[in-house]
Structure 1
């Protein structure tokens, strides 16, 4: 029988929800399950209602669902808010600490705190809760012992043993006191294949390291900070300089300077921070200095909802900075996609000497996905720098911005050859010297814009999921991929003729996109986006002339679920 099981851990900030959720997720992963974990948290150090949700299956999963099978409630609000989500499930709660008005038989009391104090102190309360949850599921306790040992090994044997004892006590309490011993019998698939549990941020960081990044700068900003943290933690091993700048303006200017000197460079930010970077984006554009910009989206404007998710910055990124110059924009679908797309972003930035954007969002950035091991051998580092052999073919005086039909000029690094490298943020001639004449302005501006044609030819076509042609076609971009593929699977199993066209390389769009969309859809073309105005559908209209027939939009700070999308399609009359 196929397993599809959902655990939600609810409580206040500061109660260790993420620790409980991650230990449970790693335990199920070790047993051979596929795990998808996501969290909802408020922008505060303590208090408020937060939760961590883990979905466990013996099949690959990349989306959350709304039903809950097991709720670990660390406060009363968790029961009040999530009890109605239970689907034949159980609530684990310490009634000695949490006042429970509901006397439903599905609420099972476990004295987390008392058991923890008997073991060694309140600090072990969460470990007791983890053990009780697994006891209720009759899951192999040895798997949990291994995870606890890995998690706490750096703190010494005593801490490891105390955590194992606390977990065992919780496990035994649930087994001995729950009517019928087990509510579920969750048997491990026993797969020997090792998989990763990885966030989108970690995947981008790994992709950057595999791509030869040598400089990263940022001013920390949720949800992008995880990329900076991961690279900084491994900076010495990979020879990377990681700089926490005083502000976002400095961060991007630092990366542009490092790139000008020859280092592969990257900045990380979110929408509010990117607002401060905009002038420097223009500097990258006019000096034709490559840089990769990772932008983790969250709801705006201003501070908005700093810990929630949205896809609201696409048009901002496309039009940021004064004037007109080329750029390319990537929006990863999954962590695996993020790993390889990050490499492509670096290569495209170097080849076309332009800013390259990686657009993620809080949902992809922070969620934990089960992935197979990434293949670093598939990544190539393509710098596209002037070499000694072709430098000899250049004019005696080096033309940094030489006019070419492709718009790509030979790029040398300062001090690389005897030639002087000149760059200026004012309009300039082929040599890099200021030139404000009308003829030069027209010619060099057209040179830069000519790169768009080459960029279009190198951008990949969208993925078609499902049949090549269908009555209903969903269009998505970026992190909505997992939810949309599951939506298509559910509806196809019900006999609905539906498919999905998903974009992960969103600008510039290849010329073939118009024909792909016309072929994929015979009736309803529905764009699904985490924003209020249908930004990507407007990009499609401008770039290809294709108009969608409808939208499913969500902008409350929470990600899509298949149930939500299906309900919206029904309410709009798309599904009969």
Structure 2
């Protein structure tokens, strides 16, 4: 199986993302699976950032740290990332600094032979295509399509630049580049987590989104705004997170499926409104894009530190749903599920993502979007005589209409209320019935929660237990540990509250794997299932979990 990891490194403003994006597209057109992720400092210019691209002939969709090829755009990037190069890997940089490397003076050649340093990035792409043994013609096709609107001269100049980088890299590759990637007939679609989420929300029937910019959630409202005509979602940048979540609640009350998105600090401001949605029984979807905290923390890095915060968000007792998709394919399923269950049970739903999941590019194949569609649960007003918004029912779900849908009066109140939605102080009767009605929805909802995914459980002595975006790294980690003759399996949660009815296999040792410091899932599982945790593998340096990290830190 082909498995090549390329790391492109440079400072902010040097075009690292441009190089990476074009290379990802070229790899996909070649017929290979590609997984890409970025790590970058919280600054507009300067610093050193990286764009890692993993090429394989079958989807892996998990990160690797060690580089087969490191392309460094400046000396600082070379110094920072050179330790990532594998023993048999190569460096591509502007100056000769080691034996196994290709030295190409990109800046000097672009200025002297092409007339402008702007062509450095296209030369770099050509060099990388040559280093991994891909076809120049495929890259030329991608570049022609990319620059077509800028005119024939721009297209021609970029093709010359790509060809120059390709030729120089092929000359430098002699004896040190073992890779050859001929064009395949297979087809994979590369899609970023944030693109999958935005598209999935539109498919789920979302018609309104309000948000206040906060990394790493900002790109969601940006994508929906840029594609408003195609996706049909009206967006509004609110003055703050409190306004954003309350706008979403208002839109939902008025009959539109609505959501908001934020990160930790913004979510903290939304907590009171989550209780409002719980009390008024208004459907609401919140995307919580995690990053390291507390406070501002590391705005451009990743973490899984808000699990218990999300589960316990909001004062008082009311049902809510917490989901955590594993990858781009799962995002489509979980976002559809979030909107449908929010509507069905008239509850707030929190979808836990993170910087790694949203910004990474996954390869997907054969997503059957026709099987994904919204299910609506609004009541038919013409079948109701005496409408009671908060009618007590066996499962706690009351008939829901929106104002103006018919002649029925639709009322709601954040105070405790009776079945018509009017404030009540009937402590011995109505209050008790309303509290029990809301919590009855929790019991019904719990019956719909899917069990965790199991992998290689039979014959395993030790089980790695994770949640959300850690799934693919854990699966690959299992393969590495089995190479070390360690019999290990996986249990992985993506539906986290309410937790499902589930029996953990007996006579196993359970290891918690999380992108946080305190093993929050482990604490939750001990509390809800009473299991014993044998050990934990925590990563809390702002970088994503990898199979190699799991292998190094497993000492069972």
Determine whether 1:198 maps to 2:191: yes
Q: Deviations over 1:430-452 (max 9, x none)?
A: 10001123122222111111111
Q: Deviations over 1:30-72 (max 9, x none)?
A: 1111111011101100111111111111122121122211111
Aligned residues: 553
| Partner residue in 1 for 2:167 | 172
Verify the 8 A CA contact 2:248 2:258 in the aligned structure 1.
yes
Q: Distance in 1 between matches of 2:270 and 2:370?
A: 34
The DSSP-based 3-state class of the residue aligned with 1:450 is helix
Q: Which stretch of the first structure deviates more once superposed, 169-178 or 559-568? A: 169-178
| Partner residue in 1 for 2:91 | 91
RMSD: 1.5
Aligned with residue 101 of structure 2, among 95, 104, 107:
107
Q: Distance in 1 between matches of 2:172 and 2:207?
A: 56
Verify the 8 A CA contact 2:381 2:408 in the aligned structure 1.
no
Determine whether 1:75 maps to 2:74: yes
Aligned with residue 146 of structure 1, among 127, 141, 144:
141
Verify the 8 A CA contact 2:32 2:188 in the aligned structure 1.
no
Q: Distance in 1 between matches of 2:532 and 2:254?
A: 44
- Compared CA separation, residues 341 and 178, structure 1 to 2 (3 A): closer
Q: Shift of residue 75 of structure 1?
A: 1.6
| Partner residue in 2 for 1:381 | 374
Q: Distance in 2 between matches of 1:459 and 1:469?
A: 27
Structure 1: any 5+ residue segments left out of the alignment?
none
Q: Shift of residue 178 of structure 1?
A: 4.5
Aligned with residue 482 of structure 2, among 492, 499, 502:
492
The DSSP-based 3-state class of the residue aligned with 1:404 is coil
Q: Which stretch of the first structure deviates more once superposed, 486-495 or 70-79? A: 486-495
TM-score under structure 2 length normalisation? 0.97
List aligned pairs for 1:166-565, cutoff 5 A: 166-180=161-175, 183-188=177-182, 190-392=183-385, 396=386, 398-439=387-428, 440-468=430-458, 470-511=460-501, 513=502, 515=503, 517-519=504-506, 522-565=507-550
The DSSP-based 3-state class of the residue aligned with 1:259 is helix
Q: Distance in 2 between matches of 1:7 and 1:78?
A: 14
Q: Shift of residue 89 of structure 1?
A: 1.6
Verify the 8 A CA contact 1:471 1:498 in the aligned structure 2.
yes
| Partner residue in 1 for 2:128 | 133
Q: Deviations over 1:231-269 (max 9, x none)?
A: 222212233211111111110100100000000101011
Verify the 8 A CA contact 1:333 1:480 in the aligned structure 2.
yes
The DSSP-based 3-state class of the residue aligned with 2:508 is strand
The DSSP-based 3-state class of the residue aligned with 1:152 is helix
Q: Distance in 2 between matches of 1:153 and 1:355?
A: 45
Determine whether 1:3 maps to 2:2: yes
Determine whether 1:567 maps to 2:552: yes
Structure 2: any 5+ residue segments left out of the alignment?
none
Q: Shift of residue 467 of structure 1?
A: 3.3
Verify the 8 A CA contact 1:115 1:166 in the aligned structure 2.
no
Verify the 8 A CA contact 2:32 2:187 in the aligned structure 1.
no
Verify the 8 A CA contact 1:115 1:169 in the aligned structure 2.
no
The DSSP-based 3-state class of the residue aligned with 1:150 is helix
Q: Distance in 2 between matches of 1:256 and 1:120?
A: 56
Q: Distance in 1 between matches of 2:383 and 2:331?
A: 34
Q: Distance in 2 between matches of 1:469 and 1:346?
A: 38
Q: Which stretch of the first structure deviates more once superposed, 73-82 or 554-563? A: 73-82
The DSSP-based 3-state class of the residue aligned with 2:118 is helix
Q: Distance in 2 between matches of 1:159 and 1:294?
A: 40
Q: Distance in 2 between matches of 1:156 and 1:258?
A: 44
Verify the 8 A CA contact 1:115 1:170 in the aligned structure 2.
no
Q: Shift of residue 458 of structure 1?
A: 0.6
Q: Which stretch of the first structure deviates more once superposed, 291-300 or 130-139? A: 130-139
Q: Distance in 1 between matches of 2:293 and 2:83?
A: 30
Q: Shift of residue 211 of structure 1?
A: 1.0
Q: Deviations over 1:265-288 (max 9, x none)?
A: 010111111111111111111100
Verify the 8 A CA contact 1:471 1:523 in the aligned structure 2.
yes
Verify the 8 A CA contact 1:120 1:162 in the aligned structure 2.
no
